[in-house]
Amino acid sequence: MTQTLLLLPGDGIGPEVASAAARIAEVVAPDLAIESDLVGGAAYDAHGTPLTDDTLARAHASDAVLMGAVGGPKWTDAPRDKRPEMGLLRLRKELDVFANLRPAFCFPALAAASSLKPHLVEGLDIMIVRELTGGVYFGEPRGIDTGPDGVRRGYETSIYTAPEIARVTRVAFEIARGRSGKMTSVEKSNVMESGLFWRQEVTAVHAAEGEGVALSHMLADACAMELVRDPTQFDVILAGNLFGDILSDAAAMLTGSIGMLPSASIGAPGRPGLFEPVHGSAPDIAGQGIANPCAAILSLEMALRWSLGRTEAANRVRDGVARALEGGARTRDLGGTLTTDGMCEAVLAAL
Ligand code: IPM
Ligand code: MG
């Protein structure tokens, strides 16, 4: 049966990098049916909502979803529940892709492009497992209103249930076992009840099912510090939605450029995963054709590996990007001069 990849290019540089990834897909997986639809601000402009029910149904029916990016200044004044980001959050929630895998991998050719000294990032290979469909991102109640004391306030709820923590912890265990076995769970158990509960639950799941995994715990602020002090001490980092969001941006920069980093969001086996570059829509460079397509191309690599069961094609993409970099291919964010198309051509040549 033909496998379907649903492309949701989105906004800003999203369409530029997504089309580069589609060109690579046509080469490494020529039998893959690639479909395309709108999400984010592009969908809001066309349909008045950042994610239509029809697009959501197509996502459910596909084998994998590859996103570009969403958002931009154009939609700052859109109604809050119709903002581009809401399309992405709804997609994550509805597809129930609760485990977000964010590798921070330093290609040897890029050690000098890191903001840290090369010897600190040489051999860097971290996998951040971020819980993606719970926590403070979705907790209720939330709002901006006037409290009973007549004082205006803004608030949300940081809440995790035991099953939510257990399922993402199991994914992290499985990934850790396929690597060094080392795993660091991150929270703020010193100040947050939900953080203390997170630590307790991860510890309990580890005691019952953590065979082969060396688990340690770290407070999120300390983890941020350690990530820039001595990043290669980490292998798998498990975090909730908000801390995972923040730490993955920091880890991304260690690798030379956020333009290099892909992500995979996966749920139950057999359900379509959602794959997206970690970088945003980068409105400042959108439309210029200079965005680094590597994060999108490597997100395709993760789709091939995690949702489509095409390990060989995935390895080919990964090696292709590595060889293009070794050959000196660099976009502007990496200190080079190549355009998006130029970088894509370099990867195609390396394939
Ligand atoms: C990310 C982004 C999103 C998030 C935004 C765009 C909603 O920062 O994927 O890291 O906060 O999850
Ligand atoms: Mg983020």
Of the residues 211, 228, 255, the one at which a domain ends:
255
**pLDDT the model gives residue 79:** 95
Q: Place 112 in a pLDDT band, splitting at 50, 70 and 90.
A: confident
**Domain-embedded: residue 22:** yes
Are residue 101 and residue 144 in the same domain, yes or no? no
CA of 97 to the centre of ligand 1 (A): 14
Q: How far is the CA of 247 from the centre of ligand 2 (A)?
A: 9
Per-residue pLDDT tens for 24-67? 999 999 999 999 999 999 999 999 999 999 999 999 999 999 99
Q: Is 127 in the pocket of ligand 1 (CB under 6 A)?
A: no
Asked whether residue 307 is assigned to any structural domain, the reply reads yes
Same domain, 141 and 161: yes
Is the pLDDT score of 330 beyond 90? yes
Neighbours of 190 (CB within 10 A): 12
Please check whether residues 320 and 290 belong to one and the same domain: yes
**Predicted confidence band at 12 (pLDDT cuts at 50, 70, 90)?**
very high
Pair 120, 218 in one domain: yes
Spatial CB neighbours of 286, under 8 Å, sequence gap ≥ 6: 11, 12, 13, 16, 72
- Please tell me the residue having the least CA distance from ligand 1 atom 4: 245
Residue nearest to atom 7 of ligand 1 (CA): 85
The model's confidence at residue 106, banded by pLDDT at 50, 70 and 90, is: confident
* pLDDT tens-digit series, residues 193-216: 999 999 999 999 999 999 999 999
Specify the pLDDT at position 111.
Answer: 83
- How crowded is residue 62: how many other Cβ atoms within 10 Å of its Cβ? 22
Domain, as residue range, for 165:
115-255
Examine the domain organization and report whether 268 and 242 are in the same domain.
no
Residues 223 and 174 in one domain: yes
110 within some domain:
no
The answer to whether residue 108 scores a pLDDT higher than 90 is no
Same domain, residue pair 120 and 251? yes
One domain for residues 144 and 38: no
User: Do 155 and 45 sit in the same domain of this protein?
Assistant: no
| pLDDT exceeds cutoff 90 at 113 | no
Q: Are residues 78 and 160 in the same domain?
A: no
Count of domains observed in the chain: 2
- Catalytic residue list: 137, 188, 221, 245, 249
Q: What is the mean pLDDT of residues 112-119?
A: 88
Residue 241 inside a domain? The answer is yes
Give the position, in ligand 1's atom list, of the atom nearest the Cα of 89.
Answer: 7
Residue 28 lies in a domain: yes
Same domain, 331 and 272: yes
Strands (E), the chain: 4-10, 33-36, 64-69, 99-105, 125-131, 143-146, 152-155, 182-187, 214-219, 236-239, 264-266, 273-275
pLDDT of residue 109: 84
* Closest C-alpha residue for ligand 1 atom 11: 245
Mean pLDDT of the chain: 96
Decide: 245 in ligand 1 pocket, CB within 6 A: yes
How much is the average pLDDT of 74-92? Answer: 95
Tell me, yes or no, whether 1 lies in a domain: yes
> Which residue has 């292998």 as its token pair?
235
pLDDT at 253 over 90: no
Q: Domain boundary at 255, 273, 292, which?
A: 255
Tokens read off for 21: 């990834």
Q: Of 255, 279, 296, which residue constitutes the final position of a domain?
A: 255
**What would the mean pLDDT of 251-276 be, rounded to a whole number?**
92
- Residues 2 and 91 both lie in one domain: yes
> Is the CB–ligand 1 distance for residue 90 below 6 Å?
no
Give the pLDDT of residue 126: 97
- Ligand 1 touching residue 21 (CB < 6 A): no
Whole-structure pTM over 0.95, yes or no? no
CATH code of residue 339: 3.40.718.10
Average pLDDT of the residues in 165-171: 98
